[in-house]
Structure 1
């Protein structure tokens, strides 16, 4: 009986935490479905605080999709910033993966002098936040005449150390006998990587893609630092620009912005879990 009570208590606590975490997301889904008058009444205390607090109807009195219609049909700026986010995120993911896979393969499969020290330096760089390296990146990008261009955001992110660390574990777990057998049969190193490393390290690579997408899609500090032209802003900077006075467009855009992230997470959830578990294991 005591064991059942303990398990029940754990489930209750987890359910409460889940409700607390999901509550903002629930509001983000409910509010854009409200009619303009109803939504204006909900948001008016946030726009001009007069001592009253916002009252939220958790079930819209007159559910409507007019807010999404306004966003998707009569807000062309949204498509521009959506394209900026897609272009920046897609470019970084593509070239980041192409750079990380050979580096992770070299760390996992080759034995060379200074390998562990170099890998430890990689880990240290992974722990350094952007605020520490912001000034040095700014100076380098300015010398390259890339300020206020998409490349200013894309290039530094391509050589991130986190994807190397995540993919490394998947390659390190491949039995050496399998790769050695391929080499004996005449395969060169690129063929071993292509036909053995990539299929067997698939979980780590896909976990890297999913986590990197979720991070890059919501990137704020890098584009805010390197981009001055608002026409180049991604969605992560476009939403704060709207403000509470454009609440209907803001809330609708937030939901549309959330859809790609949720889609990528759901599709890659299994690989993400396997990749994280593998990366947590000690060598």
Structure 2
């Protein structure tokens, strides 16, 4: 042990220990995802032989492996060709999530710019209200949201999910931090050159705050795509349900389809997260900076 310490000083050992610990944590995180991807190729017979005790309510041990013994594409065929409800809910998720993100960009970007660049009476109090609304759980806001949507006569429509998502306060908080980091001298120089407030916003604010906008957009996509409580509370018509409500509705006799549907539901957020990981890192760093 003494020889090892002499050959590898503490400063060289600690990075390897940290990498080992992080690798083990990552393995535990990725293991369920790999198992889900592998089980999507299970046949019905192999599915029953492995998960029969759980599916049939019996006793016995569950056989968990990462890859099937006899992989098959029959679950994919059943989901993509014999499950029209899946495509309806997938389209609903795309429609609702896309509309929410588009609305958030129209509402949250100007609101964040106003909070970051202008001084007006009650600014701090109003921004504190945004933060309070951001940390409140959906269960607290569900009842007032339901009454407001009912008065607007848009319950059981796509707007019942889209409208509350558009006015989410979290994107405003994220983008305000990015806009606040823009050097004031740069904005003053643009104004001295004759640029109006609109030109400053579109030509300086949006380009320099683009990482924050992308970060808020990615987080907003993940929240809307995986939403469960709001669609369950505001949508009674099953044809309007998003994909997040499709998986709980799958019966035990189609559990092989559930694995494939899980992979299909996970693919868009996973690709988006990997593509925008750098923006998310910048968003976490900037949102953690205290003035």
The alignment's TM-score, normalised by the length of structure 2, stands at: 0.93
**1:86 alignment partner in structure 2:** 94
- C-alpha contact (below 8 Å) 1:43/1:244 kept by paired residues: no
**1:163 alignment partner in structure 2:** 171
1:5 CA displacement: 4.2
Encode CA deviations 1:162-210: one digit per residue, 9 max, x unaligned.
0000000111011112112222222221211100000000110000001
- C-alpha contact (below 8 Å) 1:123/1:161 kept by paired residues: yes
Q: How many angstroms apart in 2 are the aligned matches of 1:255 and 1:30?
A: 10
2:73 counterpart of 1:73:
no
Q: How many angstroms apart in 2 are the aligned matches of 1:169 and 1:201?
A: 9
**1:176 alignment partner in structure 2:** 184
Encode CA deviations 1:79-114: one digit per residue, 9 max, x unaligned.
100000000000000001110000000000001222
Give the secondary-structure state (helix, strand or coil) at the position aligned to 1:219: coil
Unaligned runs of 5+ in 1: none
**2:272 alignment partner in structure 1:** 264
1:64 CA displacement: 1.7
Q: How many angstroms apart in 2 are the aligned matches of 1:153 and 1:213?
A: 13
How many residue pairs get matched?
283
2:148 counterpart of 1:140:
yes
**1:231 alignment partner in structure 2:** 239
Q: How many angstroms apart in 2 are the aligned matches of 1:44 and 1:65?
A: 20
Give the secondary-structure state (helix, strand or coil) at the position aligned to 2:259: helix
Encode CA deviations 1:220-254: one digit per residue, 9 max, x unaligned.
00000000011111010111000332111111010
Q: How many angstroms apart in 2 are the aligned matches of 1:128 and 1:149?
A: 24
- C-alpha contact (below 8 Å) 1:71/1:249 kept by paired residues: yes
Give the secondary-structure state (helix, strand or coil) at the position aligned to 1:181: helix
**1:95 alignment partner in structure 2:** 103
Matching residue within 192, 196, 218 for 1:188 = 196
**1:210 alignment partner in structure 2:** 218
**2:250 alignment partner in structure 1:** 242
Encode CA deviations 1:91-149: one digit per residue, 9 max, x unaligned.
00000111000000000000122211211111111111111011000011111111111
Matching residue within 69, 74, 89 for 1:61 = 69
2:24 counterpart of 1:24:
no
Q: Indicate how the Cα distance of structure 1 residues 136 and 184 shifts in structure 2: closer, same or farther if over 3 A, else same.
A: same
**2:59 alignment partner in structure 1:** 51
- C-alpha contact (below 8 Å) 1:81/1:234 kept by paired residues: yes
1:16 CA displacement: 2.1
- C-alpha contact (below 8 Å) 2:35/2:67 kept by paired residues: no
Q: How many angstroms apart in 2 are the aligned matches of 1:241 and 1:72?
A: 17
